[in-house]
Structure 1
Amino acid sequence: MDATAAALLLDHYDSARRDLPWRSDSPDPYRVWLSEVMLQQTTVATVTPRFLRFVERWPTVEALAAASDEEILGEWAGLGYYARARNLIACARKVAADGGFPVTEAGLRALPGLGAYTAAAVAAIAFGQPAVPIDTNVERVIARFYGLTERSAVPAAARAFFPGARNGDVAQALMDLGATLCRPRAPACPACPLWKHCQAAASGTPEAFPAPKVRKARPHRFGIAWWVRKDDHVWLVRRAQQGLLGGMAALPGPEWQDERPSANAIAIHRHGFTHFTLDLLVVPAAEPPDGEGWWQPLQGIADAGLPTLYARAIKAALTAEREPRLAA
């Protein structure tokens, strides 16, 4: 990148960077890693209070590693993408056993759950390594700056933005720029420090860069959740460790399927996952199914660590019990 543009980017970051609880002039690798895992597919606004709760409860990676799976999964409930939580547990225990985080991108990439982006982000931000993290915000800024329509061309072009000094600040400056000014729609070009150097801005159609992704239609599936209630308690189980929502608290039920089951549901909750959508039919049952579980007080249902799917299904069932109609 042109030295003038690099200076403009960092000057803007120094004066306008977002105040985020995981940022510091002396970055803590634990907080950087934890924030990057939480921020995958999740907004800063959603992550910020949950991050603060995590680090208050587990201020170090060693403290997190010593916590039980159930405690961590319960604290993660509501953040979605629960494979991240399982990888978080495995990674924390590996790092604690090894005595600390690796400092190189390659070493970080070998940890459980750290993909190419997360390893590069932690390497650059926490350790100042010459790594190039490309998230959706960085991708958009780079593509527009160079006038690239093809996303595959972005990683090579992005390397020019990382001259070897202040790598973590450059990474975070690009992330901030994409999140606040170089937005997907209605970018605030005149306020951008790179405006006069930007090929997309010069074209007059910055929103055309990069070319939009082709979205595939998601298949639709169906599931049954048994609603077993005894007075002011509901029967919950813990899902199998492997698979979607692995290890999370849940209403009991069979495997989800492609065909709609014949069942007398009192409520239906429709939920969107990354690769498919689901109609979860909440069906009353007189007795708990075979297998382990527990009676959870409805008054303390928020403490059960339920993922959003089941928390909303329970809310729909309770609404249906109060109203003479099917909750949807």
Structure 2
Amino acid sequence: MTKPWSPTDFAAKVIEYYHAHGRKHLPWQNTKDPYKIWLSEIMLQQTQVTTVIPYFERFIQSFPTVTDLAQATDDQVMQHWSGLGYYSRARNLHKAAQIVESEYSGVFPQDPETIETLPGIGRSTAGAIASFAFGLPTAILDGNVKRVLARCYAIEGWPGNGKVLKALWKRAEANTPQQETAAYNQAMMDLGAVVCTRTKPDCTICPLSKHCLAYSNDSIEQYPGKKPKKARPSKSVYWLISIHQDKVLLHKRPPSGIWGGLWTLPEVVQSETTSGDLQTLEPFVHKFSHYDLQVQPLLVTSKADKALVEKNSHTSIMEPAQADWFSLNQLSEIGLPTPVSKLLMKLLEHS
């Protein structure tokens, strides 16, 4: 029967992998700047590296320091984040930068527990910042690391379950070495991202397969446990598109919730629309992580419905909302959700 790795041997194998194969040339690597490391960690949450790279580089070009980010407007931050998704990350990033500026004189705190108090930073992200920026021996437990540990030690159950998460953290902390922690943490993320992948992991090249319990038991697909399935909800909305003198009316979403802080099209319920005066455009479905949004775009063509749009500028189902008219060449300068941007660009192409 295969024996699981001891913490010392596990860490040694992982660090050996880092020196031989670890990723070392990403834009946020080869730096001790906690701001850049923090930004990359937030962007990489639930987002692939290839997607993050251009966003990271553009963000750093516009906001090179935490002070620059703290002094930016909400619209500037959201515009740079537009298309990256999970917009609460951007709002929390902005809030945290303002806290670092006001409470820590623009100097990022080093203590992991203090780092964790900043908006949008959890235990694993705080550990990553502390180890990469300050060389502290702090454990991490992102999705990739959870998968590697769950398989190597055959830790059963969905990681979102409190008991399972506690077991994973216990193993993560036990295995984290006191020396070369940054190399170890980077290699753990790399292993989960490119070797111990969610589907079709390449166990033949994995440095941990010799004592991986899931591999030896031919049960890789069982780990980590899957989230219990629930019926996927959906929501139907009507988007009103009012274009007048090359300007389009947009709403700014409240700070919290879906697309918080972004500019979107006014929404109404079906009973509020005026039959026959709105041009029905092709409907579409936008999939969020936890529900489907069924959108029916309606092009405003009559004075009556233009009045309806104006009314809904202040009493829409997104209330409270800020409304304004934007020239079409301004759309690239404000934060727009991807489906809104695509819809408007499509209309402009055919206008």
TM-score, structure 2 as length reference: 0.83
Residue identity opposite 1:56 in structure 2 = Q
Q: d(CA) in 2 for partners of 1:216 and 1:41?
A: 20
When the two chains are superposed, the root-mean-square deviation of aligned CA atoms in Å is 2.4
- Report the counterpart of residue 29 of structure 2 in structure 1: 23
Match of 1:55 among 50, 54, 60: 60
- Report the counterpart of residue 209 of structure 1 in structure 2: 223
Q: d(CA) in 1 for partners of 2:99 and 2:284?
A: 38
Shift in Å, 1:283: 1.2
Instruction: Identify if the C-alpha distance between structure 1 residues 217 and 131 changes in structure 2 by more than 3 Å, giving closer, same or farther.
Output: farther
Shift in Å, 1:90: 0.4
Indicate if the aligned counterparts of 1:104 and 1:129 stay in contact, CA closer than 8 A: no
Match of 1:268 among 283, 301, 304: 283
Match of 1:283 among 289, 293, 298: 298
- Report the counterpart of residue 114 of structure 1 in structure 2: 121
Match of 1:160 among 158, 170, 174: 174
- Report the counterpart of residue 9 of structure 2 in structure 1: 4
Q: d(CA) in 2 for partners of 1:134 and 1:309?
A: 32
| Structure 1, gaps ≥5 residues long | 323-328
1:230-262, Cα deviation, whole Å (9 max, x unpaired): 2533222322223321211111224x79x9989
Residue identity opposite 1:281 in structure 2 = Q
Q: d(CA) in 2 for partners of 1:55 and 1:161?
A: 33
Indicate if the aligned counterparts of 1:282 and 1:317 stay in contact, CA closer than 8 A: no
Indicate if the aligned counterparts of 1:200 and 1:206 stay in contact, CA closer than 8 A: yes
- Report the counterpart of residue 317 of structure 2 in structure 1: none
Q: d(CA) in 1 for partners of 2:84 and 2:203?
A: 32
Instruction: Identify if the C-alpha distance between structure 1 residues 190 and 242 changes in structure 2 by more than 3 Å, giving closer, same or farther.
Output: closer
In the alignment, is residue 131 of structure 1 matched against residue 131 of structure 2? Answer: no
Q: d(CA) in 2 for partners of 1:244 and 1:157?
A: 35
Instruction: Identify if the C-alpha distance between structure 1 residues 205 and 113 changes in structure 2 by more than 3 Å, giving closer, same or farther.
Output: same
Instruction: Identify if the C-alpha distance between structure 1 residues 189 and 297 changes in structure 2 by more than 3 Å, giving closer, same or farther.
Output: same
Residue identity opposite 1:110 in structure 2 = T
Match of 1:72 among 77, 92, 95: 77
| Structure 2, gaps ≥5 residues long | 1-5, 314-321
Shift in Å, 1:317: 4.7
- Report the counterpart of residue 325 of structure 1 in structure 2: none
**1:293 alignment partner, SS class:** strand
Structure 1 residues 75-114: aligned runs within 5 Å: 75-97=80-102, 98-99=104-105, 100-114=107-121
Shift in Å, 1:62: 0.8
Instruction: Identify if the C-alpha distance between structure 1 residues 217 and 55 changes in structure 2 by more than 3 Å, giving closer, same or farther.
Output: same
Residue identity opposite 2:79 in structure 1 = G
1:140-196, Cα deviation, whole Å (9 max, x unpaired): 101111122234121111222202222222111100000000011111111111121
Instruction: Identify if the C-alpha distance between structure 1 residues 174 and 260 changes in structure 2 by more than 3 Å, giving closer, same or farther.
Output: farther
Indicate if the aligned counterparts of 2:87 and 2:259 stay in contact, CA closer than 8 A: yes
In the alignment, is residue 246 of structure 1 matched against residue 273 of structure 2? Answer: no
Shift in Å, 1:58: 1.0
Q: d(CA) in 2 for partners of 1:218 and 1:302?
A: 33
- Report the counterpart of residue 214 of structure 2 in structure 1: 200
Indicate if the aligned counterparts of 2:263 and 2:337 stay in contact, CA closer than 8 A: yes
Instruction: Identify if the C-alpha distance between structure 1 residues 53 and 103 changes in structure 2 by more than 3 Å, giving closer, same or farther.
Output: same
Shift in Å, 1:118: 1.8
1:43-67, Cα deviation, whole Å (9 max, x unpaired): 1111111001111111110111111
Instruction: Identify if the C-alpha distance between structure 1 residues 180 and 262 changes in structure 2 by more than 3 Å, giving closer, same or farther.
Output: farther
Q: d(CA) in 1 for partners of 2:258 and 2:7?
A: 46
Tell which deviates more after alignment, 67-76 or 158-167.
Answer: 158-167
- Report the counterpart of residue 203 of structure 2 in structure 1: 189
Instruction: Identify if the C-alpha distance between structure 1 residues 289 and 267 changes in structure 2 by more than 3 Å, giving closer, same or farther.
Output: farther
Q: What percent identity do the matched residue pairs reach?
A: 37
Match of 2:237 among 223, 231, 235: 223
Indicate if the aligned counterparts of 2:75 and 2:334 stay in contact, CA closer than 8 A: no
Tell which deviates more after alignment, 245-254 or 80-89.
Answer: 245-254
Match of 1:143 among 147, 150, 153: 150
Query: For this pair of structures, how many residues does the alignment match?
Result: 318
In the alignment, is residue 293 of structure 1 matched against residue 300 of structure 2? Answer: no
Residue identity opposite 2:27 in structure 1 = P
Shift in Å, 1:215: 2.9
Residue identity opposite 2:135 in structure 1 = G
**Which structure is higher in RCO with an 8 Å CA cutoff and minimum separation 6?**
2
Q: d(CA) in 2 for partners of 1:116 and 1:280?
A: 37
Indicate if the aligned counterparts of 2:96 and 2:118 stay in contact, CA closer than 8 A: yes
**2:28 alignment partner, SS class:** coil
